[in-house]
Amino acid sequence: MRFDVITLFPELFVPFLGSGVTRRAYSGGQVAVHLWNLRDFADGNYRRVDDRPFGGGPGMVMMAEPLAQCLAAVRAERAEVAPAPAVLFSPIGRRLDHPAVAAWADSSGAVLVCGRYEGIDQRFIDLHIDRQISLGDFVLSGGEIAAMALLDAVARLQPGVLNDQGSHQLDSFNPVLDGLLDCPHYTRPDHWGPPGAERPVPDVLMSGHHKQIEQWRRAQRLALTARHRPDLLVAARAAGRLTPDEDRWVGGLAAADPQDNDAL
């Protein structure tokens, strides 16, 4: 798959694309990322890409013409029969979630437009943007961080990118976990904390009894989801992903501490 990123700051992506486990996806070509500097398509000595908003107000607005020229160059290089969607990261977009990431991970890619300043000229959006995506109800200085978030989420779902092929299947929100939050995780040492108040790893995780461990993890996922993201639990219940026993057990949790819920 191929993602073309239109940005004023392509240098921000260089360390990102070469760092961490997901770099395998980029260096190996599973997720090809092409960076386009918007200023290369601006006119004049100053390569101006923004101007004051009509009607007044604070800030600057990205101009439509440089964006249109850059997008045209991207389209020409991609030379696709069916043009990839042009995506803008925007507060009005659909919030990015696991199903959306999974869909992008199975796609042929997209053109990612990273806005800056107060936004971009609405006429460009109306004529050229196919989809809008939001990371949540907050505002960033630009779309670059949002683009990196999408690229990272997509890259880690590609085969062979993670050390353990099944790692991403046990992530929070994954259908394999019925869309629930993941359980707590522990590693060495088996006792850790301030002197005299060391905290042990839960006994069940040291038992070697795989069935009991999985039961504990399931209980923790249900309890954590009930406490922190009850909306996900409602969705899982509506989809028939909870057993009757689980449904009754979760209903009795109330304000109980998830750490106390060792088993169903």
Which CATH number goes with the domain that contains 192? 1.10.1270.20
Tell whether 123 and 9 lie within a shared domain: yes
172 pLDDT tier (thresholds 50, 70, 90):
confident
Q: What angle do CA 63, 68, 69 make, to 5 degrees?
A: 110
Note whether 193 and 136 are same-domain residues: no
Answer whether 193's CB lies under 8 Å from 183's CB: no
Catalytic pick among 66, 121, 156, 221: 156
pLDDT score, position 260: 52
From 176-185, 196-205, 210-219, the region with the lowest mean pLDDT: 176-185
Q: Do 29 and 134 have their domain in common?
A: yes
> Is 55 in the same domain as 136?
yes
pLDDT digits (tens, 9 = 90+) for 80-134: 899 999 999 999 999 999 999 999 999 999 999 999 999 999 999 999 999 999 9
pLDDT value, residue 258: 46
**Active-site residue identified among 171, 182, 247, 262:** 171
Residue 164 lies in a domain: no
Instruction: Return the beta strands (E) in the chain as ranges.
Output: 2-7, 32-37, 50-51, 61-62, 86-95, 109-113, 131-134, 191-192, 199-200
246 is a domain residue: yes
Q: Is the pLDDT of residue 167 over 60?
A: no
**214 and 150, same structural domain?**
no
165 in any annotated domain = no
Q: Is residue 167 part of a domain?
A: no
- Catalytic residue at 85? no
What confidence tier does 169 reach under pLDDT thresholds 50, 70, 90? low
Range of the structural domain that residue 18 is part of: 2-155
- Same domain for 109 and 233? no
Task: Give the mean pLDDT of the chain.
Answer: 92
Domain count, the chain: 2
Of 155, 189, 220, at which residue does a domain stop? 155
Predicted confidence at residue 255, as pLDDT, reads: 47
DSSP per-residue codes, 123-159: HHHHHH--EEEESSSS--SBSHHHHHHHHHHHHTTST
Q: Partners of 94 in the beta sheet?
A: 133
The residue annotated as part of the active site, out of 43, 77, 91, 99, is 91
| Consecutive H or E run containing 255 | none
Question: What is the reported pTM?
Answer: 0.87
Shared domain check, 232 and 137: no
Please report whether residue 166 resides in a domain: no
Residue 194 is among the residues annotated as catalytic for this protein: no
Task: Specify whether 49 is located in the same domain as 129.
Answer: yes
Same domain membership, residue 245 and residue 185: yes
27 within some domain: yes
Please pick, among 118, 152, 247, 262, the residue that the annotation labels catalytic: 118
Query: What percent of the chain is modeled with pLDDT above 90?
Result: 86
171 is catalytic: yes
88 and 189 co-located in one domain: no
Q: At which of 101, 121, 155 does a domain end?
A: 155
Q: Are residues 178 and 228 in the same domain?
A: yes
**pLDDT single digits (tens) 231-260:** 999 999 999 999 999 999 999 885 455 455
- Asked if 246 is an active-site residue, the reply is no
CB atoms within 10 A of CB 173: 17
- Of the two residues 256 and 71, the one the predictor is more confident about is 71
221/243 Cα distance (integer angstroms) = 14
**What whole-number distance in Å separates Cα of residue 258 and Cα of residue 229?**
13
User: E strand or H helix at 191, and its extent?
Assistant: strand 191-192
User: What does the pLDDT look like over 206-232, one tens digit per residue?
Assistant: 999 999 999 999 999 999 999 999 999
Share of the chain above pLDDT 70, in %: 92
> Would 76 be classed as within a structural domain?
yes
- CATH number at 123 reads 3.40.1280.10
Domain C-terminal end among 101, 122, 155: 155
- My answer on whether 218 and 127 are in the same domain is no
Residue 89 lies in a domain: yes
Please work out, in degrees rounded to the nearest 5, the angle formed at the alpha carbon of residue 253 by the alpha carbons of 250 and 259.
105
Taking every pair of Cα atoms in the chain, the longest distance, rounded to a whole number of angstroms, is 70
